[in-house]
Amino acid sequence: MSSLNLDDFTDLIERPDGGMRRDAEARRERQIVPPGSLGRLDDLGEWLAAAQGAVPVRAVERPRVVLFAGDHGVAELGVSARPAGGAERLVRAVLEGGRPVSVLARRLGVPVRVVDMALDCAPDTLPEDVVRHRVRRGSGRIDIQDALTLDEAEAAFRAGIAVADEEADSGTDLVVLGDVSVGGTTAAAVLIAALCGTDASVVTGRGGEPIDDLAWMRKCAAIRDALRRARPVLGDQLRLLATVGGADLAAMTGFLLQCAVRKLPVILDGVVSAACALVGQRVAFRAPDWWLAGHSSGEPGQAKALDRMALEPLLDHKVTVGEGAGALLALPLVQAAAALAAELPEATPEEAEKEEEKPDEDAAGHGSE
């Protein structure tokens, strides 16, 4: 029996400050550019003000990319374009600066943190700060066995909580959350299908590096078989993560919920982070108010999960590579919204009066044509 009570998150997580959001809206109405003329940037600025509890909103100055890493036993079935156990090479490439997220993070000046939860390699092959939270070597093959024991799921979940606390305590003011995994999108699709009550074919995508039709059919069959194992444990989110998730997914779920507790905003990346967010929503219904959907990856499972949480992606570039790269592309947009909300001057009374007169003038002009 787990000693972790997930129901506590319902009481611990508050919504972003509604009063501050109203103050931000009122400030926006006084600024020199008419409300609505900046589109979603207005909404983002007001969301940030509520999340920060500050008007004017503070600049996002200490963002961090956090990537949870793991290998999934289901990759043995050929459901991924990468070989089973291949996530270590991806992690090493991220650390050495050779992956898309590394290039983008370097360009944007954002540090990248990788947290190994279940890579299928000897822990002494990677830096200590990467492997210190590891729960096990690889996660189980979810079509025929549990991904984790319940104790391992709890340990991974608690590790995610600890990482969130470390980030909040260190002054991180926004997290870009992603994963580095092989087989992770298969586990994510199972979680989404189970929580949304859909069939395997509805959520089966092509993965981070697109697979061919035969691999897609193998993936769909694996998700179908894992889904049969998931349905009996739908009422217990920790057991669900143990049954068909994995150490990296359990840790990401704990991380997301604790970020909401600590009032630390998160930009979600692809289908894996969306699946963990969906589990988090089941645990604490207010939690998604602290998260942004960075982009649409084109994965059907991601679209299903985001729709269930009423999160609209900021970008739609169909970036499937994972590793937080798509979400990182949305970071400058969030930073731009913060800058505009904070730095646009308020209109003078004369300018405000002219703006109020414009609709009448336009109407009069159209009437004389």
Q: Which residues are catalytic, by number?
A: 323
Pairing state between β 63-71 and 174-182: parallel
The residues that bridge with 139 in the sheet, in sequence order, are 72
Residue corresponding to tokens 């990482």? 163
The SS3 of residue 312 is coil
- Answer whether 148's CB lies under 8 Å from 246's CB: yes
Using alpha carbons, select from 20, 3, 73 the residue that is nearest to residue 238. Answer: 3
Structure tokens at 37: 């003329």
Planar angle of CA 290, 171, 176, nearest 5 degrees: 45
Q: Which letter does DSSP use for residue 264 in this model?
A: -
d(CA 193, CA 171): 36
- Answer whether 56's CB lies under 8 Å from 341's CB: yes
Q: Which letter does DSSP use for residue 137 in this model?
A: S
d(CA 181, CA 81): 12
- Answer whether 204's CB lies under 8 Å from 215's CB: no
Instruction: Provide φ and ψ at 112, rounded to 5°.
Output: -115, 130
Structure tokens at 145: 């066995």
- Answer whether 247's CB lies under 8 Å from 70's CB: yes
Q: Reading across the β-sheet that carries 174-182, which strands appear in turn?
A: 112-118, 63-71, 174-182, 266-268, 291-293
